[in-house]
Amino acid sequence: MPRNRQDQTKQAKRDEILAAASSLFLTEGYDGASMGKIAAAAGLTPNTLYWYFRDKDELFVAVADLYLARLLQQHATVAEKPLARQLVWLVDSLRPVRHLVATVHARVARSSRIEQWHSGFHRQMETLFEDQLTIEVPEARRAAETAVVTFAIEGAVTHDLDADATTSLCHSLARRLAAG
Amino acid sequence: MPRNRQDQTKQAKRDEILAAASSLFLTEGYDGASMGKIAAAAGLTPNTLYWYFRDKDELFVAVADLYLARLLQQHATVAEKPLARQLVWLVDSLRPVRHLVATVHARVARSSRIEQWHSGFHRQMETLFEDQLTIEVPEARRAAETAVVTFAIEGAVTHDLDADATTSLCHSLARRLAAG
DNA sequence: ACCTGAACACCGTTCAAGT
DNA sequence: ACCTGAACACCGTTCAAGT
């Protein structure tokens, strides 16, 4: 049953598709979440998705953007806590979207759309960590230090560490940033 | 022109397929390297690949195994150098196979074959780094420390850092392992 | 403006059939 | 034992056609 015959705004229908895509990308991954499944979950035919999104990667990026915005917004609630706690929070927040993280890395070479999103994401993370660097860390090392933190966080998210290993890793990273 | 009519051993033909697959996986990635392309590069029809390999993931793992064996073997040539140098060497060695690394992470949830290979790979890396830990590092932290190194290396490989950033990151990691 | 049915060029994989 | 042709159930995507 098609719905959008003016009883829904375009944005509302778009959000419905986004919700369907979001849930399927998380549970089934990029390959598992076919355009057919996503369309069905939104009560549409596959080809109709192309009215709202240029291609699958654009749909994927829209979903990723949604989570990134939510993440940065929620970060405010922990921004004042010690760095180690923030990192644990970050890992816990990203763990549910680990399929998205893996997909970004797998497709970054094939889709310029995803490539763009990816570098934006890393810029966000770097500024987030740079702000917390102790002043003593020499300029030349900053990039390397923040890179280590970002990569380690990504690793912790995509490789399932248990809770103990995660906190241990986060404290180790925080110690490093504080010590320089 | 089909070839294997007893003028080639099964192993030889298998190696030919592996060579074709290897080159295509590196240049085109997992998705780009279709069974059709791989078969064509080996002078076969796609379905014939299934005589030698159970499915695409088994073929992929065979390729990954090849590179891992080569890596561990060549590591002997740098095993005596300082840790930072070893890490730079490791990143440089893995960079050409970055597509493989990304694929492993993207498919680890969907293929048990790859999942198995992946945990084997990390076991290898961990023992490799643990051997180089200073004795002072407390038992409880070891797992976290080696995890940080592994993840940071993986990150450096899959996110293109320039040469300066790479050496800087590797020295930072080495400093960490030595300092505890 | 929004949505569909039908089609296109691909996938990975299976299987009966050939040598 | 090795290899193929033909088929199957899918993909993502395009496009002319409907309302």
Q: Is the pTM of this model over 0.75?
A: yes
**Residue where the block lists tokens 């300029």:** A139
Residue A52's nearest CA partner among A106, A11, A24 is: A11
Mean pLDDT of all residues in A69-86: 95
Mean pLDDT of all residues in A55-74: 98
Residue A124, pLDDT score? 93
Residue A1, pLDDT score? 41
Q: Mind listing the pLDDT tens digit for each residue in B121-153?
A: 999 998 888 777 765 677 777 888 889 999 999
CA–CA distance, A37 with A44 (Å, rounded to integer): 10
**Residue where the block lists tokens 């598709």:** A17
Cα-atom radius of gyration of chain B, to the nearest Å? 19
Residue A129, pLDDT score? 82
Task: Please provide the average confidence, as pLDDT, over all residues in chain A.
Answer: 91
List the single residue in B with minimal CA-CA distance to A26.
Answer: B109
Q: What are the two backbone dihedrals, phi and then psi, of residue B81, each rounded to the nearest 5 degrees?
A: -75, 165
Q: Which nucleotide is nearest to A14 (CA to C1')?
A: C2
Crossing angle of helices A139-158 and B139-158, in 10° steps, is 100
B35 CA, C1 C1': separation in Å?
42
Q: What is the DSSP letter of A43?
A: T
Q: Three-state SS for B29? A: helix
Residue B141, pLDDT score? 79
CA distance A5 to chain B (A): 38
Q: Taking a contact as any Cβ pair under 8 Å apart, which residues of chain B between 32 and 51 contact chain A?
A: 32
Distances from the Cα of B68 to the Cα of A70, B65, B97, angstroms: 39, 5, 10
Q: What are the two backbone dihedrals, phi and then psi, of residue A132, each rounded to the nearest 5 degrees?
A: -100, 0
Contact A109 B102 (CB under 8 A): yes
Q: Which domains does chain A have, with CATH numbers?
A: 1-53 (1.10.10.60), 57-179 (1.10.357)
Distances from the Cα of B59 to the Cα of A26, A101, B33, angstroms: 27, 25, 11
